[in-house]
Structure 1
Amino acid sequence: MRTFVDDIAAHAAREPDRVAVTAPGGELTYAGLAARIDALAGTLAARGARAETVCAVAVERGVDAVIAVAAAVRCGAAFLTLDVEQPPRRLAALVRSGGADLLVTTAELAGRLRLPVPGRPVLLDRPEPGGRGARLTGPPHGRALAYVSHTSGSTGEPSPVLVEHRGLDAYLRAVSRDFRLGPDTVVLQAAPLGYDASIRDTFAPLLAGGRLVVVPRSAVLRPEEFGAVVREHRVNALLSVVPSFLAFLAGRPDGAGLLEGVRLVASSGESLRPFLAAGGRAVIEDRLVNQYGPTECTMTSTRYAVPAEPDTGADIVGTPLDGVVVRLLDEELRPVPEGAVGEVCVGGAGVARGYRGLPARTAECFVPDPAGPPGARLYRTGDLARSGPGGLHLLGRRDRQVKIRGHRVDPAEVEGALLAHPAVTGAVVTAGEDGAGRVFLTAHVTGDLADVRDGELRAHLAATLPPHLMPRRFARLDELPVTRSGKADRRALADAAARS
């Protein structure tokens, strides 16, 4: 089958001098990129990489990471990207559970991380002779393994998700087509390596013949540096931005200026509703797209183009991508009536094989599709939703929604109301239990709140929320803790609230 690497090679043949990647070390043309991909693919093939081989990629952000992933695909193998800024012990656990057969890294990182991958590592800074002459096995089969991506899910333990080439290829082409990416597209790589969103960030623009801009992670997270990068490189598309980061930008006086020239912002990973409720849509001058989908379904399952005047009363994630099936089912996997709440179950080509080495969890989450053709499967997301104007309306997770005094509560609704207060720049609401077993909410807020008393925040919330949605506590923070992927670290906040 044709892969995104074949498209990179085609761009190199047509316009060899077109710039493919801009990085701190300089620019790399499509011809240079294709040549380096082929050279490394030859080395990997000479080391035995072929279908179902998992190549762990442990390198810093930059051109080498792009080449290493593409080379694994070029020789028909699979990749497992690692964020080398994470603790070595965690990385070791990921390569073990992900079944890594081969390690692609540098001499310095190999010595520092000491990852438990069999055989000698392929060192990018010490090229091996003979790689160019190795015979590649040809294009991968659509059902062959493309990559392994870990997700914690509700268990908190990283679970290795196995995604096939047919799902990855169909998805990247859908991103390029639906977002109208092309040679004039300039995308900033925003997602950290080790997360599947970085695959979209990196290879959707290259498949389309556009330009990828890679800068240190610190430059992406600091507003002034972020804005400078966008201006200097004329970035016009962001494909993987979490709502927490958008809210952070929107809360700054120069928020709109930081995104000047960006024609497309695609958000995912968290509920976009709090950002919209706080009036954040106004800082994005052109297209804002809300993406929804789990790692187990190749990144994105539904998509919604947010209008200039959005409905802030619902968390709308839109309609399925081409080839994706979304069903709302009850506990017995029966369709719920129109307008009723059901669990989001996703089918289609993007559904992963399952979790490596976890047959019981795979059987629990990946189930036969009762309304599909023979052999069709659904992934049970654990998310609750109903159909409504604009498509799917998310209502929270089965494992996050709580009951307070008999009322079903989604903390995202409270977060949205808090962010509408002019002094609040960040808000996360967690649930806890007191000594009598009563469930209550704690609001963790950031902003210029020195002169804002709890009573004022409660009065603000009371204007739009019923009493059972009122937090019992307000915890003021200088900044909200985030995970490596940039999402708010709700578990850390809930633990802190329980200790207070």
Structure 2
Amino acid sequence: MTAWFLDEILGHAPDAPALRTPETVLSYGELATRVDRLAAALAGTGFGPERVCAIAVESTVDAVVAMAAVLRAGGAFLTLDLDQPAPRLAQMLDSAGARFLISAAEPRVSVPGPALRLDRLPAVPPLVADPPGPRALAYVSHTSGSTGVPNPVLIERGNLDAYLRFVVRDGGLDAGTVTLQLAPLGYDASIRDTFATLLAGGQLVLAPRSTLLRADGFAATVASYGVNTVLSITPSLLTFLSRNDAAARALRSLRLTLSSGESLRPFLAAGGRSLLEGRLFNHYGPTEATMTSTRLDVPFEPERAADVVGTPRTGVTVRLLDADLRPVPDGAEGEVHLGGTGVARGYRGRPGLTADRFRPDPAGPPGARAYRTGDLARHRPDGTLEYRGRLDRQLKIRGYRVDPAEIEGRLLTHAAVHGAVVTAATDDRGRAHLVAHVAGATDGVTDAALRRHLAETLPHHLLPRRFRRVDRLPTTRTGKTDRARLSRGGRP
């Protein structure tokens, strides 16, 4: 690693705006001053390389300052989503090994070691320290959506640096970039929102998440701040916003939209690409491979019949293997194994799980490992990767393998349907069948009418037995559709 991205961020023109909120504008010079002061205070507590500091502040300027200061002091951060239940936050702190804490006021969580309050920082000498090397820990990010104890993923500094530079280069980010932070703290996509924008010398707009998740609030924020880039939006949120006239106009004004976290196929199948006049990227990749492994610059006439996720980003390798870890033939379906730049160190405190998911990579240099994703894919003749679902969540209906995205995309082409999720259920005789959960103005549309609409293009085994109306599809904190909640019959 010849240069450290944070040094470049703190070295930008001091008078240029870096962070904007409804209350304030923080310049790069002011950002550097606050980061250096907090980093020095951290170092004074004994914080340094391979130590983890939890950040328990709201998604504001303070959070950005805290993340940067932790890295400046040579250690690793764990950002917390404070809307999570207290027991889960405690699990995350413990599993990540967090022994230091930064809070904006009286903390709602505790750690075994020193805690700094941003409103009571001690006066300390300036920090004088060389940054650690690329193998040092940068941040801990827990896998989301799982039950039980969350798994802490360890990402190293070299991986983070390489990834952020890729995002800046691939997206054409520059000093004119104005990015809206959509991803909540506690999820790795918020790191991309924050540091890719600042590395490019652009402006990061921080607005209340409750505002951004409303169509009118999103539209007003984009217009008010001149937002031209969104680096983290799920297809579910993209679909929801595109159905509102004001939000759709805001989306059309963006020069770059980066979608990740879910299948983009239903949105594209419903004609969503035509609603965006700027570039649309489809990013695929797990937390365990530093956020993004492959990307597709979605053309204005996209593939609608398959879930295409593009080609590997710089430094990443993708191998498709069978159950015996042998390469599958060209065009055949196999499990995705990711190698090269981005592969995490592993799971903290989970040696068995780490050994199972992170395997030796025969295609890499000595000691290299590849991450076994559990995803299925195949290589298309043009070399792009086509996502084919999960090994552990395949839907089988009467012997047929069913891709829910195919049905969801077709449902979204119905004028009355604004959101759609298809799940599997079992009747009292143990027979599996499909349930379609639909949102929109469907009160006057019968199940038979929806089934006829699907039957125009889909075979019989892809037709849901039941249609369940919901006011709005429930989502997780990251903006992904909460399929588990729908499967249990839960409502938003």
Same fold, TM exceeding 0.5? yes
- Give the superposition deviation at 1:266: 0.4
- Unmatched 5+ stretches in structure 2: none
* Conserved? CA contact 1:230–1:258, under 8 Å: yes
| Paired position in structure 2 for 1:33 | 31
Q: SS of 2:245's equivalent? A: coil
Letter paired with 1:7: E
1:343-380 per-position Cα deviation (integer Å, ceiling 9, x unaligned): 11101120001111111111111111133222111101
* Conserved? CA contact 1:42–1:75, under 8 Å: yes
| Paired position in structure 1 for 2:453 | 460
- Give the superposition deviation at 1:135: 4.1
| Paired position in structure 1 for 2:396 | 403
1:335 maps onto 2:327 in alignment? yes
The correspondence for 2:66, drawn from 65, 68, 84, is 68
| Paired position in structure 1 for 2:358 | 366
- Give the superposition deviation at 1:136: 3.8
Letter paired with 1:415: E
1:267-291 per-position Cα deviation (integer Å, ceiling 9, x unaligned): 0000000001111111111100000
For 1:58 and 1:359, locate their aligned partners in 2 and report how far apart those are by CA, in whole Å.
Answer: 28
| Paired position in structure 2 for 1:168 | 160
What's the Cα RMSD here? 1.5
For 1:155 and 1:333, locate their aligned partners in 2 and report how far apart those are by CA, in whole Å.
Answer: 28
For 1:493 and 1:235, locate their aligned partners in 2 and report how far apart those are by CA, in whole Å.
Answer: 33
* Conserved? CA contact 2:335–2:373, under 8 Å: yes
Letter paired with 1:70: A
| Paired position in structure 2 for 1:423 | 416
For 1:179 and 1:46, locate their aligned partners in 2 and report how far apart those are by CA, in whole Å.
Answer: 38
| Paired position in structure 2 for 1:124 | 118
> Is the alpha carbon distance of 1:155 and 1:61 closer, same or farther for their aligned partners in structure 2, counting shifts above 3 Å?
closer
1:50-96 per-position Cα deviation (integer Å, ceiling 9, x unaligned): 11110100101111000000000001100000011222222111111
For 2:206 and 2:383, locate their aligned partners in 1 and report how far apart those are by CA, in whole Å.
Answer: 34
* Conserved? CA contact 1:255–1:283, under 8 Å: no
- Give the superposition deviation at 1:97: 1.0
| Paired position in structure 1 for 2:240 | 248
1:243-270 per-position Cα deviation (integer Å, ceiling 9, x unaligned): 0011011222344312242100000000
1:492 maps onto 2:485 in alignment? yes
| Paired position in structure 1 for 2:171 | 179
For 2:364 and 2:63, locate their aligned partners in 1 and report how far apart those are by CA, in whole Å.
Answer: 38
* Conserved? CA contact 1:75–1:136, under 8 Å: no
1:346 maps onto 2:338 in alignment? yes
For 1:103 and 1:154, locate their aligned partners in 2 and report how far apart those are by CA, in whole Å.
Answer: 25
* Conserved? CA contact 1:243–1:267, under 8 Å: yes
- Give the superposition deviation at 1:46: 0.4
1:233 maps onto 2:225 in alignment? yes
| Paired position in structure 2 for 1:278 | 270
Letter paired with 1:45: A
- Give the superposition deviation at 1:155: 5.6
- Unmatched 5+ stretches in structure 1: none
For 1:448 and 1:153, locate their aligned partners in 2 and report how far apart those are by CA, in whole Å.
Answer: 29
* Conserved? CA contact 2:454–2:463, under 8 Å: yes
* Conserved? CA contact 2:219–2:247, under 8 Å: no
* Conserved? CA contact 1:46–1:134, under 8 Å: no
| Paired position in structure 2 for 1:412 | 405
The correspondence for 1:88, drawn from 71, 86, 91, is 86
Letter paired with 1:222: R
- Give the superposition deviation at 1:148: 0.2
- Give the superposition deviation at 1:4: 2.2
For 1:153 and 1:256, locate their aligned partners in 2 and report how far apart those are by CA, in whole Å.
Answer: 29
* Conserved? CA contact 2:340–2:364, under 8 Å: no
Could you tell which deviates more after superposition, 264-273 or 82-91? 82-91
For 2:461 and 2:148, locate their aligned partners in 1 and report how far apart those are by CA, in whole Å.
Answer: 29
- Give the superposition deviation at 1:484: 0.6
1:14-45 per-position Cα deviation (integer Å, ceiling 9, x unaligned): x2100011012300111100111110000010
Letter paired with 1:338: D
For 2:28 and 2:145, locate their aligned partners in 1 and report how far apart those are by CA, in whole Å.
Answer: 38
Q: SS of 1:259's equivalent? A: helix
The correspondence for 1:445, drawn from 438, 443, 446, is 438
| Paired position in structure 2 for 1:105 | 103
For 1:321 and 1:355, locate their aligned partners in 2 and report how far apart those are by CA, in whole Å.
Answer: 23
The correspondence for 1:304, drawn from 296, 318, 321, is 296
| Paired position in structure 2 for 1:295 | 287
Letter paired with 2:398: R
Letter paired with 1:325: T
For 2:239 and 2:81, locate their aligned partners in 1 and report how far apart those are by CA, in whole Å.
Answer: 25
- Give the superposition deviation at 1:390: 6.3
Could you tell which deviates more after superposition, 370-379 or 259-268? 370-379
| Paired position in structure 1 for 2:5 | 4
For 2:128 and 2:447, locate their aligned partners in 1 and report how far apart those are by CA, in whole Å.
Answer: 65
- Give the superposition deviation at 1:154: 5.9
Letter paired with 1:483: T
* Conserved? CA contact 2:252–2:278, under 8 Å: no
For 1:64 and 1:229, locate their aligned partners in 2 and report how far apart those are by CA, in whole Å.
Answer: 20
| Paired position in structure 2 for 1:434 | 427
> Is the alpha carbon distance of 1:232 and 1:385 closer, same or farther for their aligned partners in structure 2, counting shifts above 3 Å?
same
Q: TM-score, normalised by structure 2?
A: 0.97
1:204-241 per-position Cα deviation (integer Å, ceiling 9, x unaligned): 01011111110111121011111111111111110000
For 1:212 and 1:371, locate their aligned partners in 2 and report how far apart those are by CA, in whole Å.
Answer: 39
For 1:256 and 1:153, locate their aligned partners in 2 and report how far apart those are by CA, in whole Å.
Answer: 29
The correspondence for 2:135, drawn from 125, 143, 153, is 143
1:268 maps onto 2:269 in alignment? no
For 1:186 and 1:154, locate their aligned partners in 2 and report how far apart those are by CA, in whole Å.
Answer: 33
| Paired position in structure 1 for 2:199 | 207
